[in-house]
Amino acid sequence: MNYERRDLKVADPEETTMPRSPGEAESPTPTPESPMISETPARVEDMHATRHVRLEDLHAYYDSNHAVRGVNLSFEPGNVTAIIGPSGCGKSTMVRCINRMHEEIPGARSEGRVLLDDVDLHASNVDVVAVRRLVGMVFQKPNPFPTMSISDNVASGLRFIGTPRGEIKDRVDSALEGAGLWSEVKDRLSSPGMGLSGGQQQRLCIARALAVEPDVLLMDEPCSALDPVATLKIEELIGVLKEKVTIAIVTHNMQQAGRVADTTAFMLDGELVEVGPTDKMFTNPDDDRTEQYVTGKFG
Amino acid sequence: MEIEARHEYREELASLERRALDGLDLVVASLDRTVEAVQHQDIELAELVIADDDVIDGRYLEIHQAILTLLATQAPVATDLRLIAALLHVMKNIERMGDQCVNIAKLIPIAGHDPPADEQLLGYLVAMGNAIRVQIRQAKRAFLDRNVEMARDLVREDDVIDNLNRECFQRAIEIGDEHDRREWAMTMMLVARALERIGDNAVDVGEQVAFLVTGLFREFEDASHPGEEPMPEPSSSSPS
């Protein structure tokens, strides 16, 4: 995969216009100027996962409901981090805070810091669109744009960020290749995206996320709507992509966490109970509540 | 929040543990017969030990299959997974202990119906058998109670058995020049050796108790580095 690298760069704070959710604290970012995404292409080379994501005392609310309660957690580059926990424990909410999807929900707000390397993505002067370009997301249900062809689906994000027309085809092909879909769709790139199987649609969504060269890929139960074979394909893909982007995956399937994740974090009632190497979490967890959950005594 | 989940699975796991550890009772029964056969040169009883080993082997296969099924269908993790791994080892130990009884039983006809037996040497062997019986029962209790202290105490018991084994050896040397007596004593040394191995297997069961509780596997006593500090006490509180 040949991807150009962009970097977080300092831009003019005047240019950043971004809705702030009510109740969110003023920017705690230490940088005097606001970080932005540079559109200047860096040297063309393979993507490599290099960026850390660090949550510092992250709280998230839905109105008065305190859904995430002071989570401190790091996502390491080259690593897949799985977040497990029973329904309603706040794992999806936590992940959605990373690319600021959480604040889109009416009444929702968050506190604390989400650092991409040393830049606080929640700082008031950060462009939320830029954040979502750097932090891609794949959802539970494959959601290709229904009226668009396969290649237009992947190109949509590229067009949005103003990629020169001449480059789009190359980057679409490269993203489809990267998502392990190229050989299956190369002869029907102009067919509708919705004509693909569920598993292919999900890989199409991964290709769409990859096309804009994210540094981080969030996956919120990416396989829960897929059959076992499609699931294994996505899991294999995750194994390849972790070298290229920092990956966080929310999953209800503990075997899946066991198969794909290097690190597993267990959440309960909005709190991070335990985080550690996946093998340890599934053979000899430190916390009793983790033990109870992974052995299926509740959840 | 606390809901009793996977009820059948929990039952299955508990029953699997009971069935596996009951294998230790089968070994005790076989051991008692074996020692009695040695003591009284009872070839018929020895043959029964050999025939009944099929029961222990059958238990081994049964537990082995049940463990495979549980692994395949229930994907056990954490303490459950450690329990299953420990039970696999324990079943292997049980099967080995049964085989050692068979090894002893096969030696009895070699010694003959009316061998020139030495009461002192036989006394040591019977004492070994008694100590091993205690040891096997203690291993089972330690496993059921998840009691690491009790499991580690098996080493102390094992030292008693090892000492008796040395006494046997000494006695066999002193037994005299007569050919038949020497031959009998050498056969009894093989018996002592097999008994001593059964004791070692009981200690191995204890090591699995420590693994089950702490998640760490260390030999209580490393035969290749005798005298070195054995496994330290688990420093952190054990998971439930």
Taking CB atoms and an 8 Å cutoff, what residues of chain A touch B80? 295
Confidence of residue B223 (pLDDT cuts 50, 70, 90): low
3-state secondary structure of A271: strand
What is the topology classification, in CATH, of domain A51-142+217-294?
Rossmann fold (3.40.50)
CB-based contact A295 B75, cutoff 8 Å: no
Q: What pLDDT shows up at residue B73? A: 85
Q: What pLDDT shows up at residue B219? A: 87
The beta-carbon neighbor of A298 closest among B2, B236, B240 is: B2
CB-based contact A285 B78, cutoff 8 Å: yes
The reply to whether B51 touches chain A by the CB within 8 Å rule is no
Taking CB atoms and an 8 Å cutoff, what residues of chain A touch B78? 282-285, 290-291, 294-295
Q: What pLDDT shows up at residue B64? A: 96
3-state secondary structure of A250: strand
Q: What is the pLDDT of residues A115-160, one digit of tens each?
A: 999 999 999 889 998 899 899 999 999 999 999 999 999 999 888 8
CB-based contact A295 B78, cutoff 8 Å: yes
Q: What pLDDT shows up at residue B227? A: 64
Distance, CA of A71 to CA of A259 (rounded, Å): 25
The beta-carbon neighbor of A282 closest among B4, B5, B77 is: B77
Q: Is residue B100 within 8 Å of B195, Cβ to Cβ?
A: yes
Confidence of residue B174 (pLDDT cuts 50, 70, 90): very high
Sheet of A246-250, strands arranged across: A135-138, A216-220, A246-250, A80-84, A263-268, A271-277
**Positive or negative torsion for Cα B12, B87, B85, B207:** positive
Nearest CA in chain A to B237: A286
Q: What is the pLDDT of residues B110-152, one digit of tens each?
A: 887 788 889 999 999 999 999 999 999 999 999 999 999 999 9
Q: What is the pLDDT of residues B180-194, one digit of tens each?
A: 999 999 999 999 999
Q: What is the pLDDT of residues B198-218, one digit of tens each?
A: 999 999 999 999 999 999 888
CB-based contact A285 B239, cutoff 8 Å: yes
Q: What is the pLDDT of residues B40-54, one digit of tens each?
A: 999 999 999 999 999
**Whole-Å CA distances, A106 to A20, A29, A62, A102, A267:** 12, 25, 8, 9, 24
The reply to whether B81 touches chain A by the CB within 8 Å rule is yes
Taking CB atoms and an 8 Å cutoff, what residues of chain B touch A286? 236, 239
H or E segment to which residue B94 belongs: helix B78-111
Q: Which has the minimum average pLDDT: A10-14, A100-104, A146-150, B158-162?
A: A10-14
The reply to whether B61 touches chain A by the CB within 8 Å rule is no
The beta-carbon neighbor of B77 closest among A294, A298, A299 is: A294
Nearest CA in chain A to B216: A284
Q: What pLDDT shows up at residue B217? A: 86
Q: What pLDDT shows up at residue B110? A: 87
Percent of chain A with pLDDT over 90: 69
Nearest CA in chain A to B83: A283
Distance, CA of B231 to CA of B200 (rounded, Å): 16
Confidence of residue A298 (pLDDT cuts 50, 70, 90): confident
Task: Indicate if the pLDDT at residue A83 is higher than 50.
Answer: yes
Confidence of residue A299 (pLDDT cuts 50, 70, 90): low
CB-based contact B78 A254, cutoff 8 Å: no
Q: What pLDDT shows up at residue A14? A: 44
3-state secondary structure A218-246: EEECCCCCCCHHHHHHHHHHHHHHCCCCE
Q: What is the mean pLDDT of residues A244-254?
A: 94
The Cα angle at residue B73 between residues B69 and B78, in degrees rounded to 5: 95
Choosing among B70, B77, B236, which should be mutated to test the A contact, i.e. which has the most A CBs within 10 A? B77
Structure tokens given for A253: 């399937």
3-state secondary structure of A181: coil
Partners of A149 in beta bridges:
A192
Q: What is the pLDDT of residues A19-53, one digit of tens each?
A: 444 444 444 444 444 444 444 332 223 578 889 99
H or E segment to which residue A200 belongs: helix A198-211
Structure tokens given for A268: 């309960």
Distance of CA A66 to the CA centre of its chain: 22
**Residue A269, Cβ density class (10 Å: 0-12 exposed, 13-18 middle, ≥19 buried):** middle
CB-based contact A283 B81, cutoff 8 Å: yes
Q: Domain residue spans in chain B?
A: 7-214
Nearest CA in chain B to A288: B239
End-to-end CA distance of chain A: 40
Q: What is the mean pLDDT of chain B?
A: 91
pTM of the model: 0.78
The Cα angle at residue B57 between residues B122 and B132, in degrees rounded to 5: 30
Taking CB atoms and an 8 Å cutoff, what residues of chain A touch B3? 298
Task: Indicate if the pLDDT at residue B238 is higher than 60.
Answer: no
Task: Indicate if the pLDDT at residue B237 is higher than 60.
Answer: no
- Second-level CATH architecture of B7-214: Up-down Bundle (1.20)
Q: Domain residue spans in chain A?
A: 51-142+217-294
Distance, CA of B82 to CA of B78 (rounded, Å): 6
Task: Indicate if the pLDDT at residue B236 is higher than 80.
Answer: no
Q: What pLDDT shows up at residue A161? A: 84
